[in-house]
Structure 1
Amino acid sequence: MDIVMDAQALNAFLERDFPQVAEDHRVESVGPGRLVARLRVNDRHLRPGGTVGGPSIFALADVAIYCAILSRIGPVALAVTTNATVDFMRKPAAGRDLLAECRILKLGRSLAVVEALIFSDGEDEPAARCSMTYSIPPKRPQNSAL
């Protein structure tokens, strides 16, 4: 399946439909079955000890995986997470943005399974691994009444 939305289109979609996450999250690149997104880390993402907190890591994975799916199916605002697993493997580096490198494992008509590795910018070893399943709502026939 071809790329339907590139990084620019995905960022515009987030700014328009999800402004609450667009300030912190940005799609960096989109490729066949892959996507890289960035969390612009600032003080509100930190927990005691100066590391990025788990909720911020989860949010990056969720936004990035959602965008990876939309890059292939288009702007389906009602696609939702139905399952999520996060393995926190190491402390993210202090003072650096986080990157989510996503890979689409399965993209069906009603379900998508995507994996994301979360890295501190410039680091080779992942800080976390996330796997999520999304439910994709059925397409409405084009001539159907609302």
Structure 2
Amino acid sequence: MIRLDRRQSAIGGLLVTGATSAAWESPERVTGAMTVLGAVSGTSIKCSGNRPLVGYVDATAVVALRHIRELRRALFIGQPSAPLTVEIFDGGTVTLPAASGELRYILSLTAIDGVIELRAEPVPARADAAELWQEFGFSMTTNAAARRQGH
């Protein structure tokens, strides 16, 4: 587990390379997900400028840290045989190595009072993204449900 400080949790973007999909949840429990190929499930969380709070730029997953209080948690899933790397504005990086055998690692992000905690979670290598979202309690929000909640 790694806990960023308040400054690291608020400036620029948190970049995750190697993630094939990302899932997110707002404090109001609005959830959604996106793959690196652009397939979307659930509901996007938009910040100023109509940009996604969590999304992809090319093949890199990006979390807009200026709006981190609009995010409760996120999950980044990579390929079983490839590492996941996290980078923040000051050039600090951490890499989750590729796992071997029947396990792989995914990256779990939790925002607590504006501070980010990152955890490497071991999961079955053969589980697909939808199974992992469900295992971590992500239930994709439909647009109608998001409108009722004011989004």
Which TM-score applies when normalising by structure 1?
0.32
Which TM-score applies when normalising by structure 2?
0.32
More strand by share: 2
Find the structure with the greater CA-based Rg.
1
